[in-house]
Amino acid sequence: MHIRDWPSNERPREKLLARGAAVLSDAELLAIFLGSGLRGRDAVATARDLLTAHGPLRTLLERDPAGLAELPGLGPARASRLAAALELCGRYLAAGLERGEALTDPQAAGRYFAQRLRGHRHEVFAALFLDTRHRALAFEELFHGTVDGAEVHPREVVRRALAHNAAALIVGHNHPSGCSEPSAADRAVTVQLKQALALVDVRLLDHLVVGDGAPVSLAARGWV
């Protein structure tokens, strides 16, 4: 049965328009992007096949455009459009920060760090430097490690904060394993950073851990 023959409340496009994109499954969202499926398969079935064989969604979308183009149901044209859509999402998330708007929503910082760090296959520790009104000054990847961790040097973080004349900063790192639960080492380095930055009158606002799903805020847990 073609998707157009489904009940209207089950069709991905109609569901999105009526109830919003958040209610759709990964396969349904991907199906809307595909538009049509492989011969004998509708778009949703094709999307499910892609996610089963090459997913989950994060793994599929972390492929480079050339790798996406090789997958059945995508090809060069759809792979290019998908890569462009992902880049648009990243630029959208960064747009408010780049306009110099105050960072008043903690979740906005989480989305920004997730967009910048989630695709790395090794651990990366980064900092978002802010002025006195919590407007973004700069974002820097400070330390690169392995799949298991990255060594963080508080002295270097302090040096970069002073170089940007920052009044505050948010730090974050990714867990390539996908598990965003902070480790004991994550909590320990947060304490060290907060103490080192306080000596030069710079506030550490949060430490975010990026994995699968929403980033985990150590500040929200009372650990900053």
Show the 3-state SS of 84-101. Answer: HHHHHHHHHHHHHHHCCC
This model's pTM is above 0.75: no
What's the pLDDT score for residue 171? Answer: 97
Task: Report the pLDDT value the prediction gives residue 215, as an integer from 0 to 100.
Answer: 93
pLDDT in tens, the chain (224 residues): 678 788 888 899 999 999 999 899 999 999 998 988 888 889 999 999 999 999 888 888 888 899 999 999 999 999 999 989 888 887 777 776 665 667 767 788 898 899 889 878 899 999 999 999 998 898 999 999 876 677 899 999 999 999 999 999 999 999 998 899 999 999 999 999 999 999 999 999 999 999 988 899 999 999 99
pLDDT for 31 equals 93
Integer CA distances (angstroms), 77 to 33, 36, 74, 80, 151, in order: 12, 13, 7, 5, 41
